[in-house]
Amino acid sequence: MWFVGTGRGGRAAQIHGIAARLRKVQREADEREAALIGLERVHTDIQRQVQRAEEELAELRRRRIEAYSRWWAVREERDRARHVARRLRRRLERLHHRPRPFGG
Protein backbone atom coordinates (compact mmCIF):
# COMPACT_ATOMS: atom_id res chain seq x y z
CA MET A 1 0.00 0.00 0.00
CA TRP A 2 2.92 2.30 -0.35
CA PHE A 3 1.34 3.66 -3.55
CA VAL A 4 -1.69 5.18 -1.76
CA GLY A 5 0.45 8.10 -0.67
CA THR A 6 -0.56 8.43 2.96
CA GLY A 7 2.94 9.55 3.88
CA ARG A 8 4.36 12.50 1.99
CA GLY A 9 1.26 13.61 0.07
CA GLY A 10 -0.74 13.96 3.24
CA ARG A 11 2.11 15.77 4.88
CA ALA A 12 2.32 18.30 2.04
CA ALA A 13 -1.42 18.91 2.34
CA GLN A 14 -1.01 19.40 6.10
CA ILE A 15 1.79 21.91 5.54
CA HIS A 16 -0.26 23.73 2.92
CA GLY A 17 -3.29 23.83 5.26
CA ILE A 18 -1.22 25.09 8.18
CA ALA A 19 0.45 27.71 5.98
CA ALA A 20 -2.97 28.91 4.74
CA ARG A 21 -4.27 29.11 8.30
CA LEU A 22 -1.11 30.96 9.37
CA ARG A 23 -1.64 33.55 6.60
CA LYS A 24 -5.28 33.97 7.64
CA VAL A 25 -4.41 34.39 11.33
CA GLN A 26 -1.56 36.77 10.49
CA ARG A 27 -3.93 38.87 8.33
CA GLU A 28 -6.44 38.98 11.21
CA ALA A 29 -3.67 40.02 13.59
CA ASP A 30 -2.62 42.81 11.20
CA GLU A 31 -6.23 43.99 10.91
CA ARG A 32 -6.56 44.04 14.70
CA GLU A 33 -3.27 45.97 14.94
CA ALA A 34 -4.60 48.59 12.53
CA ALA A 35 -7.86 48.75 14.53
CA LEU A 36 -5.88 49.19 17.75
CA ILE A 37 -3.92 52.07 16.26
CA GLY A 38 -7.17 53.76 15.23
CA LEU A 39 -8.74 53.16 18.64
CA GLU A 40 -5.66 54.53 20.41
CA ARG A 41 -5.95 57.69 18.29
CA VAL A 42 -9.65 58.01 19.19
CA HIS A 43 -8.84 57.40 22.87
CA THR A 44 -6.16 60.09 22.81
CA ASP A 45 -8.57 62.58 21.20
CA ILE A 46 -11.26 61.80 23.77
CA GLN A 47 -8.73 62.09 26.59
CA ARG A 48 -7.77 65.58 25.35
CA GLN A 49 -11.45 66.57 25.20
CA VAL A 50 -12.02 65.27 28.72
CA GLN A 51 -8.99 67.20 29.98
CA ARG A 52 -10.23 70.41 28.32
CA ALA A 53 -13.71 69.85 29.77
CA GLU A 54 -12.26 69.26 33.25
CA GLU A 55 -10.19 72.44 32.98
CA GLU A 56 -13.26 74.36 31.85
CA LEU A 57 -15.28 72.87 34.69
CA ALA A 58 -12.61 73.88 37.21
CA GLU A 59 -12.65 77.42 35.79
CA LEU A 60 -16.45 77.55 35.96
CA ARG A 61 -16.41 76.32 39.55
CA ARG A 62 -13.85 79.00 40.46
CA ARG A 63 -16.00 81.67 38.78
CA ARG A 64 -19.11 80.35 40.55
CA ILE A 65 -17.37 80.65 43.93
CA GLU A 66 -16.20 84.18 43.10
CA ALA A 67 -19.70 85.18 41.97
CA TYR A 68 -21.22 83.77 45.15
CA SER A 69 -18.60 85.58 47.23
CA ARG A 70 -19.43 88.88 45.51
CA TRP A 71 -23.17 88.19 45.91
CA TRP A 72 -22.68 87.48 49.62
CA ALA A 73 -20.62 90.65 50.14
CA VAL A 74 -23.22 92.82 48.36
CA ARG A 75 -26.00 91.16 50.35
CA GLU A 76 -24.16 91.90 53.59
CA GLU A 77 -23.69 95.53 52.51
CA ARG A 78 -27.38 95.77 51.62
CA ASP A 79 -28.40 94.36 54.99
CA ARG A 80 -26.05 96.78 56.78
CA ALA A 81 -27.44 99.72 54.78
CA ARG A 82 -31.02 98.65 55.58
CA HIS A 83 -30.12 98.37 59.25
CA VAL A 84 -28.59 101.86 59.29
CA ALA A 85 -31.58 103.27 57.35
CA ARG A 86 -33.99 101.66 59.84
CA ARG A 87 -32.10 103.18 62.77
CA LEU A 88 -32.02 106.62 61.12
CA ARG A 89 -35.76 106.40 60.32
CA ARG A 90 -36.52 105.59 63.96
CA ARG A 91 -34.39 108.51 65.10
CA LEU A 92 -36.25 110.84 62.74
CA GLU A 93 -39.60 109.54 63.95
CA ARG A 94 -38.59 110.11 67.56
CA LEU A 95 -37.46 113.63 66.75
CA HIS A 96 -40.73 114.39 64.94
CA HIS A 97 -42.88 113.06 67.75
CA ARG A 98 -40.88 114.60 70.55
CA PRO A 99 -42.67 117.53 72.15
CA ARG A 100 -41.04 120.83 71.38
CA PRO A 101 -39.83 122.85 74.23
CA PHE A 102 -41.65 126.10 74.99
CA GLY A 103 -40.20 129.09 73.33
CA GLY A 104 -38.17 127.05 70.81
3-class DSSP string for the chain: CHHHCCCHHHHHHHHHHHHHHHHHHHHHHHHHHHHHHHHHHHHHHHHHHHHHHHHHHHHHHHHHHHHHHHHHHHHHHHHHHHHHHHHHHHHHHHHHHCCCCCCC
Give me the mean pLDDT over the 41-69 stretch.
Answer: 98
The per-residue pLDDT for 61 is 98
The per-residue pLDDT for 1 is 41
The per-residue pLDDT for 2 is 44
Higher pLDDT among residues 99 and 13, named by residue:
13
Give me the mean pLDDT over the 11-34 stretch.
Answer: 96
The per-residue pLDDT for 27 is 98
